[in-house]
Amino acid sequence: MRHQTTKAADRELVVIGAGHNGLAAAIILADAGQKVTVLESNSEPGGAVKTEEVTLPGFRHDLMATNLNLFVGSAFFAKYEDRLKSHGFAVSQSTKPVCSLFPGGGYIGVSTDLEETLDSIRTYSDSDADSFRVMRSEFDRVAPHLFPLLGVPLPSAAAAKKLLAASRALGRSWPFELGKLVAQSPREFVGDNFESPEAQSLVAAWGMHLDFAPSVSGGALFPFLETMASQANGLVIGTGGAKTMIDAMVGLLHELGGRLRCSSRVDRIVVEGGQATAVICGQTRHEAAGGIIANLTPTHLFEDLVGKSHLDKRFRTHVQRFRYGPGTLMIHLALSDLPPWTRAEAQQYAYVHIGPHLEDMDLAYNQAMAGLIPQRPMLVVGQPTVIDPSRAPAGKHVLWVQARMFPAEISGDAAQQITGTDWSLIKDTVADRVMTQLEEYAPGLRSKILDRYVLSPQDLEATNANLVGGDSLAGSHHIMQNFVLRPFPGWSRYRTPIKNLYMCGASTWPGAGLGAGSGHLVGNLLTSRRRRLRDGR
């Protein structure tokens, strides 16, 4: 078949996927003078960042990702902050980032006022309040050395230098303390530090944002960092919706001369002589002498677009063994008023966690991993209009409910009440169960619902091919698939076995979240390579 060839193909670089990491890489390269075209299969850019009026007119919902803390704290944002703001990027910040609710009206709230947070914890345990204060001091001590690691490739000389500098600043025992934290389960970590089930759950609940149930080894670091960072800095969302970030990035890309082509589904990556040379979109061939960056999951990239014939047996085995986490059910509500929480204070918080306890979270995770619809999933409830009233008509609200965890393929129901296994047929029934669970903590919530929109794990994958089975993380973050092992052992630095083909996105280091980390790193990697080629080195 003959294909039309794009013009201005000399040394052009092609980015596949206009999620925020792909856009970040494209912006960095365009800023360095590289010709860049971003190809996006959907009709709009953004990947897992989408803001739409899916319920009623005037109610703006972040369909998937919503928390922009990592983005505004990223190296990419530090470099481009002013230029992104000139393209309309704006945020709204909460000083009350998260609270956890418990049966019988129990509650712990985390605010940026440390004493207020400690008073809330002290309701359950004076000792736990003291431990939280110590943990916050430890966070202040180690955070300046930990967070910079998100901005360097792993492994690398830069990472080794940062770890060495941290050891000098924090003491010889620090690498062992870090190793313990990286290897511990959330349950072990909170058990070492807190005595009350409520304080333990307050911290461990953050692990369920990834695929770290309390008893999963390697899951302690994320809850520690998220709990302390949110207490220190609050929580940031995009004004008007998370899409403000994508719109600003696209505007900056165009300003720098880069191109974005939506509704351009890549069918194949052309590999000639072991090198990626072009991508095929329908009848169009996009030459890519400057390289290809794929903002895709490994299975989609290598099995669907590259093809097994171009990969050796060992690498094919890596691809086949890449593991995805359990799925998510998303419920979006248009409300006449805020939820009538059993604790009125909860109306002030950006996030409300309903675990409620470690055993409940472990059970929900294990049921989902066994293919069962959990009887009581862990709920992350976002209240964006508490921070940003512009997302709904005056006096009205939107609610963002992430129910975790759920199986991509259903083998049964843990409660033995739902008989179907097809998500397209039972998602509303499952959502009804979630609403019943939610109403235990917000009695009368149903009377305030104006409209509802449900996304099953199947729907999430249909919306974004990287969300395989509804896994919002683009791959499990368990320790054997994280850090220097992400996505595969020996392939953590964005290169692939195909010359000229690179990866970025949540399947690569530093993983999930809206931090633009991998896009920033691969953009800088190729900018340096381009500079060396230009200088003849």
List the CATH number of the domain containing 508: 3.50.50.60
Give a yes or no: residue 425 inside a domain.
no
In angstroms, rounded to a whole number, what is the distance separating the alpha carbons of residues 429 and 413? 12
Instruction: Provide the pLDDT for residue 9.
Output: 42
**Which residue has tokens 């090198």?**
275
| Inter-residue contact 38 to 258 (CB < 8 Å) | yes
User: Within 10 A of 109 (CB to CB), how many other CB atoms are there?
Assistant: 24
Give a yes or no: residue 57 inside a domain.
no
Instruction: Provide the pLDDT for residue 530.
Output: 73
Instruction: Provide the pLDDT for residue 534.
Output: 66
Give a yes or no: residue 338 inside a domain.
no
- What is each CA distance from 504 to 196, 306, 492, 525, in whole angstroms? 41, 16, 10, 11
| Inter-residue contact 373 to 412 (CB < 8 Å) | yes
195 secondary structure, DSSP code: -
Flag residues of the chain having pLDDT under 50.
1-2, 6-9
Give a yes or no: residue 103 inside a domain.
no
Q: What distance, in Å, lies between the first and last C-alpha atoms of the chain?
A: 39
Give a yes or no: residue 81 inside a domain.
yes
Number of domains, the chain: 1
Instruction: Provide the pLDDT for residue 117.
Output: 98
In angstroms, rounded to a whole number, what is the distance separating the alpha carbons of residues 339 and 319? 44
Give a yes or no: residue 414 inside a domain.
no
Could you list the residue range(s) of the whole structural domain that residue 23 is in? 4-47+70-91+241-322+474-535
Convert the pLDDT of each residue in 399-424 to its tens digit: 999 999 999 999 999 999 999 999 99
Backbone angles phi, psi at 526, to 5 degrees: -75, -30
Give a yes or no: residue 176 inside a domain.
no
Give a yes or no: residue 26 inside a domain.
yes
Length of the chain as a residue count: 537
